[in-house]
């Protein structure tokens, strides 16, 4: 442990006190032995978030700087009887994973945080709180995979799912809450949604739901923001989960999911399911995730600045309709700033008005890799309707107002000028903008149509006269 941090008179307990207290079970009541588990003493967060992300404590016998990876499936017992609180089998508990869970529990100021093998595993564990006959209310612009799991539950498990527009809670929620208040067991929210970047008023929806039925569980998928930008537990949510594959890890080199709550009974039920189903995060991935979390603030601080610059460039210089809650033009800019004052995230989307132009833009970037997912140090570009959201029926996509030409950008940590230059090259090659002596300007509809017709050989443009 970090010696001087435990001197008498500091807010934290002296080392001897901690050692005695942790002898059998840890102070957070997770029923796990300590070494090297403790990431934070029970007095929780004390420093600014950027510091807490980096600062960990553990009781490794050799005082290793990074937490050891306990790459083992089993632990030897000291007697034939179960040892009080000791680790026995990694599916049920592992010191590397426990260290990560406690670190995240400190960061999220939650009673308990659990880590599992993917974001979808988090949602799977949470939805196992449901029983046949229960109703679920969910947003209408959910991540495609979440949509798929809900669809599965409604066809195979007797769950009724209502997809509502979460941007108009005062009109969309009351009819369902009134008709089914006692049956609505779970409400699933995302904010900002992806890829339409809709913001939902989590405090207002939580109040509406809990007033109609205090036992309903409000669940927020906080993947788009991470705990660095928003903590939905403080906004009224009962359970929060995230795909840690994204910002928390930051490097697209692991899959993980986290679940956090302030409700001890819910935490116990979730932990039971994780142990029973065997989806807890492996020791090695726990180590990697812990390492990724330490750089979350530096990565996101840079990603926020670059995202804002790119959003302004696309809207003001190129004239596209841009969806980014950091822009004053976003219809819910004020709401987002209130819920997540630290920033608007690093995912934005824009429309070009033409699917084929959008395809060309996506295919002509070099720094922006064509990839699903987000939250990585590298910048990514995608066409959601053809990629991450292709599993949603085309008709449903249309009903939910998802434009087929929508391009999603996930901003990384590269130099922002390089990113804008690369994007500009692709926009020009795709015929979405032109470069004049005055700079970059949007093409008029007529200019675009002419270009397109030339490309298809319908008109004689310079250099292709012979084709007419
Ligand atoms: N939630 C959101 C908002 C996502 O974008 C994703 C994945 O893209 C998930 C959940 C699922 O996470 P995972 O891919 O780690 O299972």
Domain ranges of the chain: 95-293, 297-459
The answer to whether 46 is a known catalytic residue is: no
Pairing type for strands 347-351 and 380-382 reads unpaired
Q: Is the CB of 194 under 6 A from ligand 1?
A: yes
Statement: residue 282 has pLDDT above 90: yes
Q: Which atom of ligand 1 is nearest to the CA of 190?
A: 3
Integer Cα distance of 433 and 353 in angstroms: 12
Residue with tokens 């009819």: 175
CA 353 to centroid of chain Cα atoms: 28
Query: pTM score, two decimals?
Result: 0.88
Least reliable range by pLDDT among 56-70, 249-263, 299-313, 421-435: 56-70
Tell me, in angstroms, the distance from the centre of ligand 1 to residue 203's CA: 23
Statement: residue 98 has pLDDT above 60: yes
SS3 state at 35: coil
Q: Is the CB of 116 under 6 A from ligand 1?
A: no
SS3 state at 80: coil
CB 204 within 8 A of CB 338: no
Q: For residue 11, what pLDDT band results from cuts at 50, 70 and 90? A: very low
- b/e code 277-303 from CB counts within 10 Å (16+ = b): eebbbbbebbbbbbebbeebbebbebb
179-198 tens-digit pLDDT: 998 999 999 999 999 889 99
Count of Cβ atoms closer than 10 Å to residue 44 Cβ:
13
205-246 tens-digit pLDDT: 999 999 999 999 999 999 999 999 999 999 999 999 999 999
Tell me, in angstroms, the distance from the centre of ligand 1 to residue 143's CA: 7
95-293: which CATH architecture? 3-Layer(aba) Sandwich (3.40)
297-459: which CATH architecture? Alpha-Beta Complex (3.90)
What is the length of the chain?
Answer: 468
Least reliable range by pLDDT among 259-268, 373-382, 429-438: 429-438
Integer Cα distance of 184 and 178 in angstroms: 10
Closest CA to 150 of 188, 180, 177, 183: 188
CB 99 within 8 A of CB 146: no
């Amino acid at each position: 442990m970090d010696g001087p941090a435990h001197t008498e008179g500091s807010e934290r307990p002296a080392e001897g006190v901690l050692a005695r207290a942790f002898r059998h079970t840890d102070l957070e009541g997770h029923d796990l032995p300590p070494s090297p588990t403790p990431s934070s003493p029970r007095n929780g967060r004390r420093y600014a978030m950027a510091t807490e992300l980096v600062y960990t404590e553990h009781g490794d016998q050799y005082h290793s700087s990074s937490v050891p990876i306990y790459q083992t499936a089993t632990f030897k017992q000291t007697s034939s009887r179960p040892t009080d609180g000791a680790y026995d089998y990694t599916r049920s508990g592992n010191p590397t994973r426990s260290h990560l869970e406690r670190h995240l529990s400190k960061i999220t100021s939650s009673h308990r945080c659990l880590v599992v093998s993917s974001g979808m595993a988090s949602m799977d564990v949470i939805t196992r709180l449901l029983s046949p006959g229960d109703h679920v209310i969910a947003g209408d612009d959910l991540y495609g995979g979440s949509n798929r799991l809900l669809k599965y539950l409604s066809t195979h498990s007797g769950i009724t799912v209502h997809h509502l527009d979460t941007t108009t809670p005062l009109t969309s929620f009351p009819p369902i809450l009134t008709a089914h208040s006692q049956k609505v067991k779970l409400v699933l929210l995302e904010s900002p949604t992806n890829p339409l970047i809709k913001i939902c008023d989590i405090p207002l929806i939580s109040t509406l739901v809990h007033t109609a039925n205090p036992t309903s569980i409000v669940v927020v998928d906080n993947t788009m923001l991470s705990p660095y930008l928003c903590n939905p537990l403080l906004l009224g949510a009962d359970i929060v989960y995230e795909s840690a594959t994204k910002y928390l890890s930051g490097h697209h080199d692991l899959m993980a999911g986290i679940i956090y709550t302030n409700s001890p009974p819910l935490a116990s039920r979730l932990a039971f399911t994780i142990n029973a189903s065997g989806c807890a995060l492996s020791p090695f991935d726990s180590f990697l995730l812990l390492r990724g979390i330490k750089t979350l603030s530096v990565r996101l601080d840079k990603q926020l600045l670059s995202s804002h610059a790119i959003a302004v460039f696309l809207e003001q210089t190129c004239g596209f309709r841009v969806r980014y809650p950091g822009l004053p033009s976003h219809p819910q800019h004020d709401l987002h700033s209130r819920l997540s004052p630290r920033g608007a995230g690093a995912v934005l989307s824009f429309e070009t008005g033409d699917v084929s132009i959008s395809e060309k833009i996506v295919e002509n970037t070099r720094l922006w890799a064509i990839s699903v997912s987000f939250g990585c140090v590298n910048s990514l570009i995608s066409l959601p309707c053809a990629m991450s959201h292709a599993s949603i029926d085309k008709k449903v996509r249309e009903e939910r107002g998802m434009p087929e030409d929508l391009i999603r950008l996930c901003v990384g940590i590269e130099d922002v000028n390089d990113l804008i230059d690369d994007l500009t090259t692709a926009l020009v090659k795709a015929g979405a903008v032109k470069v004049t002596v005055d700079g970059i300007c949007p093409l008029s509809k007529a200019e675009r149509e002419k270009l397109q017709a030339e490309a298809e050989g319908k008109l004689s443009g310079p250099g292709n006269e012979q084709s007419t």
